[in-house]
Structure formats: structure tokens, C-alpha cells
């Protein structure tokens, strides 16, 4: 834990603890961890907790002089104080059980949180890992946003005309699939490579020919929202991790103190990342 990890409370004597799970991963908590959090809120705080947009749990009104004690209880149960300030914020990802995941991202979120925990950066930095194009964890408004993609195709397995892939709520959201007497036809122009149809087609008529990750940078929310810009696509988690490391290296080497990735992109253009990514 570093000083920036503590959020000032409503009075000088208290702080807000922002907590996430090291294992299973940030937003995924075991029932035992939930009990520990409830106990901490009850014993040290005001009996309340707040779930944040970045998949952490804030426990307010914790006396400053109890922080070390609480941190040691948290750490013994696979929990940690999550960061604020000029560091990487808690890396967020889709739940691993969502049916639509092209690729589950929670293990990678875990890994990145471990790797960049307490690393000083020029400014606040967010990484969001979406398992499909729905982008439920807001990859397009993050400093580094990842969206898993699937290029789909048809197999030899006969279509059973169940219509699951073409109608709400599980089917194609952009009307890219038409069902004919001979089976399904896919409109490649309309397809956004979300992989839904592949995930729901039980007979295996639709398959993913290739899965990969689209990477976006320079997004942000807040008072000056920006949509992230597409940087490139990579296949496999090793290549994705290497690209994220490269983005962070370039950011650290080129950004002024306090600048976010979006500020650096505005000042130097995407070339600063494109040239070396
Ligand atoms: S982005 Fe896709 S995979 Fe992730 S939670 Fe949303 S629907 Fe599920
Ligand atoms: S992968 Fe393409 S065709 Fe399949 S559900 Fe997504 S958008 Fe529709
Ligand atoms: S392609 Fe698969 S999900 Fe779609 S109608 Fe045929 S069998 Fe059903």
C-alpha cells in the first residue's frame, strides 16, 4: 500500500478504503471475502459499503489509526487496498461466466493488477477488458481498452433452424444473420465480430475461425470525456500483454507529469504509439 491508496474521509480522523479481491479477481469475491468485508464495515466503519464503477468496494469511515490492522486482515483473505492517484486503477473485466465472452478476461485482469500494482505512472490510468463488443466494462472510454473479437464462419454441421442466433435476447444484435431453407447466411458488412452467434449455436453450425483482441487507447470519462482510438489488433494473450506493456512504456517515457494517455495523444498524435506499437 502507498499513501495514494488512502482516500480522505469526511473528517480528518477517518479514511475510505477502496478494496478489491486479488484472488479470484477484482470484482469476483468469495462468500468468505464478502463476510470479511461485512465484518470490517461493521467493526471499523459505519456498517456501510459502496460498490464502485471500477469493480471495487469502498468501506467509508474507517479510523486512520486502524488502517494497518484492517489491511493485514484484508491481506490474509486475498483482498487488497486498491489504488487511486497517479497509478493504474483496478483493472476491470467482464465476469467469467457471461455467455457472450469471446475470451474470458478475468485472469488477465488479475495478472495485470498484480504486475502494475503500485507502479507510478504520469497520471491516472485505466485498463478495461471486455469479452465482446458489448463492452460492458466501457473499454471505449478507458485509457487502455481491450475488446475480444471473433471472426465467424460456417461449418459442415447442419443448421437445426432453432433461430437462437437470430432473435433477441441471445442472437445477433445487428441483424447480420438471415435464416433460409438451406441454413444461415451471414452479412459480413453488418457483422461486428461479437461472436454471439458462435456462443449460442449448440449444433456447431457457426464457429469462430479466428479470435483476437482489438486494442484502443486514450479514452476517458469524467469532465472531459473522450472516446478511445483504435490502435491495433493482436492475437493471443501473450501478444496482448506485450502490447499493453509497450503502451505503458511509451506513456511513461513521453507524458508530462499529470497527463493521461488522451492528453499525450492530443499533444503528440497517435504516431507516438503507432510508431512503436
Ligand atoms: S462485454 Fe460481452 S462478454 Fe462482457 S459482460 Fe458484456 S456481454 Fe458479457
Ligand atoms: S458475430 Fe456477427 S453475425 Fe454473429 S452475432 Fe455477432 S454480429 Fe451477428
Ligand atoms: S445457425 Fe445454429 S443457432 Fe442459428 S438457427 Fe442454425 S442451428 Fe440455430
State which of 98, 102, 139, 147 you would mutate to test the pocket of ligand 1, scoring each by most atoms of that ligand within 8 A of its C-beta: 98
- Per DSSP bridges, beta strands 127-130 and 144-154 are parallel
The whole-number pLDDT of residue 7 equals: 83
Nearest-CA residue for ligand 3 atom 6 is 159
Provide the number of structural domains found in the chain: 3
Partners of 50 in the β-ladder? 58
Containing domain of residue 229, as a range?
Answer: 92-149+212-274
Residues 63 and 162 reside in one and the same domain = no
pLDDT band (50, 70, 90) for residue 4: low
C-alpha–C-alpha distance, residues 99 and 182, integer Å: 27
- The answer to the question of residue 224 being in a domain is yes
Grid cell locating 91: 483493472
* Ligand 1 near 131 CB (within 6 A): yes
Task: Specify the ligand 3 atom closest to the Cα of 200.
Answer: 3
C-alpha–C-alpha distance, residues 275 and 277, integer Å: 6
Grid cell locating 212: 483476437
Please report, to the nearest 10 degrees, the dihedral formed by the alpha carbons of residues 85, 127, 109, 71 taken in order: 10
At residue 275, does pLDDT exceed 80? no
Mean of the pLDDT values across residues 164-172?
Answer: 87
**pTM, full prediction:** 0.91
Residues 250 and 126 reside in one and the same domain = yes
* Maximum pairwise Cα distance, the chain: 72
Residues 72 and 22 reside in one and the same domain = yes
Identify the CATH number of the domain in which residue 17 sits: 3.30.70.3340
Residues 219 and 160 reside in one and the same domain = no
Residues 113 and 206 reside in one and the same domain = no
Grid cell locating 236: 493471443
The whole-number pLDDT of residue 276 equals: 45
Nearest-CA residue for ligand 2 atom 4 is 197
What average pLDDT does the structure give for the chain?
92
Amino acid at each position: 500500500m502507498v499513501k495514494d491508496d488512502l482516500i480522505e474521509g469526511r473528517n480528518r480522523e477517518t479514511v475510505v478504503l477502496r478494496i478489491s479481491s486479488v484472488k479470484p479477481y477484482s470484482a469476483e469475491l468469495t462468500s468468505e471475502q464478502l463476510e470479511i468485508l461485512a465484518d470490517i464495515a461493521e467493526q471499523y466503519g459505519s456498517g456501510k459499503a459502496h460498490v464502485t464503477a471500477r469493480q471495487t468496494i469502498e468501506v467509508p469511515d474507517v479510523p486512520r489509526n486502524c488502517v494497518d490492522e484492517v489491511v493485514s486482515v484484508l491481506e490474509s483473505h486475498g483482498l487488497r487496498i486498491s489504488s487511486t492517484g497517479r497509478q493504474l486503477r483496478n483493472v476491470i473485466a467482464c465476469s467469467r461466466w457471461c455467455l457472450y465472452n469471446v475470451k474470458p478476461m478475468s485472469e488477465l485482469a488479475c495478472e495485470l493488477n498484480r504486475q502494475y500494482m503500485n507502479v507510478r505512472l504520469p497520471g491516472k490510468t485505466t485498463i478495461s477488458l471486455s469479452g465482446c463488443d458489448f463492452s460492458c466494462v466501457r473499454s471505449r472510454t478507458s485509457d487502455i481498452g481491450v475488446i475480444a473479437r471473433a471472426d465467424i464462419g460456417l461449418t459442415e454441421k447442419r443448421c437445426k433452424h432453432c433461430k437462437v442466433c437470430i432473435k433477441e435476447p441471445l442472437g445477433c444484435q445487428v441483424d447480420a444473420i438471415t435464416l433460409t431453407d438451406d441454413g444461415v447466411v451471414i452479412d459480413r458488412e453488418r457483422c461486428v465480430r461479437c461472436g454471439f452467434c458462435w456462443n449460442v449455436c449448440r449444433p456447431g453450425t457457426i464457429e469462430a475461425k479466428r479470435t483476437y483482441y482489438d486494442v484502443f487507447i486514450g479514452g476517458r470519462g469524467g469532465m472531459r470525456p473522450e472516446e478511445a482510438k483504435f490502435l491495433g489488433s493482436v492475437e493471443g494473450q501473450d501478444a496482448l500483454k506485450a502490447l499493453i506493456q509497450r503502451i505503458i512504456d511509451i506513456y511513461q517515457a513521453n507524458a508530462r507529469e499529470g497527463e493521461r494517455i488522451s492528453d499525450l495523444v492530443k499533444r503528440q498524435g497517435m504516431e507516438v504509439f503507432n510508431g512503436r506499437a
